[in-house]
């Protein structure tokens, strides 16, 4: 069975990744992948919003870099995508970005649970300590549900990102997951199995087995992503992710071409 596509990887334009697109492509071929997609952190309307994404005036350079990798590695299918931050009120900006290039897919990700706190930022751990974990998870999943409901994304990224540093609520979160997955199903959003969680304090794929099980029951499709910020991370731990997906019952994952979904066995 072919390996699933790795649909989540970055470039140095986001200021916290290393290696050129060609280096990621070379690594993908080395480990036997046949398809990858670049999904770097999208620009915000205001470049000074934060310092871990490309500037708006670098969007064309980003696309040229991916096009070059496509030309240099014709034996590999390389998709053009973005990981887009969802914040309520940003919908028009996201539509504007969508119209600028013939993207293959958008990954919608929630990192910000307020205008100035990205909960996965290791420099802002003190914010976690000021708050109740359940409150943070609730706000996060409300935003994730809204992100799915916008219909602007083919894939929702790392669905249980708040577990990254291990701040887990004592209360049961099933209702939060249910609401989100119901929206994902209704608005045709896939969720990704993101192996970067295995490299973080939580030591677990995003999302958890529990969430993935609910997703399968509701018929929410999946993609795979390493969230590589360096070439050697491409396809990392895909064997674990594939095993998890198979155990739950998934036999197919999504591919996207110009924002149209196809299913592929894996």
Binding site for Zn ion (CB under 5 A): 109
* Long-range contacts (CB closer than 8 Å, 24 or more residues apart) made by 198-201: 198/236, 198/237, 198/240, 199/233, 199/236, 200/164, 200/165, 201/164, 201/165, 201/166
Q: Smallest gap, in angstroms, from Cβ of residue 109 to Zn ion?
A: 4
Q: Which is nearer to Zn ion, 39 or 138 (CB)?
A: 39
CB of 116 to Zn ion, least distance (A): 17
Nearest-approach distance from CB 40 to Zn ion, in angstroms: 8
Q: Which is nearer to Zn ion, 10 or 255 (CB)?
A: 10
Query: In the complex, what is the shortest distance from the CB of residue 85 to Zn ion, in angstroms, rounded to a whole number?
Result: 8
> Quick one: 50 or 252, whose CB is closer to Zn ion?
50
User: Is the separation of the CB atoms in 5 and 81 below 8 Å?
Assistant: no
d(CA 112, CA 122): 13
Query: Do 248 and 209 contact (CB within 8 A), yes or no?
Result: yes
Contact (Cβ atoms closer than 8 angstroms) between residue 245 and residue 89: no
Residue nearest to Zn ion (CB): 109
Q: Provide, rounded to whole angstroms, the least separation between the CB of residue 156 and Zn ion.
A: 11
Shortest CB 151 distance to Zn ion, Å: 20
Nearer to Zn ion, 34 or 150 (CB): 150
* Residue listed under structure tokens 């931050």: 85
Nearer to Zn ion, 61 or 247 (CB): 61
Strands (E), 42-141: 77-85, 105-109, 112-114, 117-118
Angle at 234 between CA 230 and CA 239, to 5 degrees: 140
Query: Which is nearer to Zn ion, 29 or 122 (by Cβ)?
Result: 122
Q: How many CB atoms lie within 10 A of CB 69?
A: 23
């Amino acid at each position: 069975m072919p390996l699933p596509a790795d649909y989540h990887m970055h470039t140095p334009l986001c200021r916290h990744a290393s290696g050129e697109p060609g280096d990621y492509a070379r690594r993908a071929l080395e480990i036997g992948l046949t398809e990858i997609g670049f999904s770097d952190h999208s620009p915000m309307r205001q470049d000074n919003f934060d310092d871990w994404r490309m500037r708006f005036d670098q969007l064309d350079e980003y696309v040229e870099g991916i096009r070059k990798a496509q030309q240099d590695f014709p034996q590999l299918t390389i998709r053009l995508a973005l990981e887009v931050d969802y914040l309520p009120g940003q919908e028009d900006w996201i539509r504007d970005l969508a119209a600028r290039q013939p993207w293959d897919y958008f990954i919608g990700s929630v990192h910000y649970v307020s205008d100035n706190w990205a909960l996965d930022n290791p420099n802002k751990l003190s914010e976690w300590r000021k708050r109740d974990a359940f409150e943070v998870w609730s706000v996060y999943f409300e935003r994730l549900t809204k992100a799915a409901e916008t219909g602007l994304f083919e894939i929702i990224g790392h669905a249980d990102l708040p577990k990254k540093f291990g701040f887990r609520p004592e209360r049961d979160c099933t209702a939060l997951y249910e609401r989100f997955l119901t929206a994902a199903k209704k608005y045709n959003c896939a969720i990704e199995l993101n192996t970067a969680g295995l490299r973080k304090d939580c030591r677990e794929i995003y999302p958890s087995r529990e969430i993935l099980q609910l997703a399968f029951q509701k018929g929410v499709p999946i993609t795979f992503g390493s969230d590589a910020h360096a070439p050697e991370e491409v396809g990392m731990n895909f064997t674990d992710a594939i095993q998890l997906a198979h155990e739950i019952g998934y036999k197919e994952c999504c591919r996207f071409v110009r924002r149209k979904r196809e299913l592929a066995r894996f």
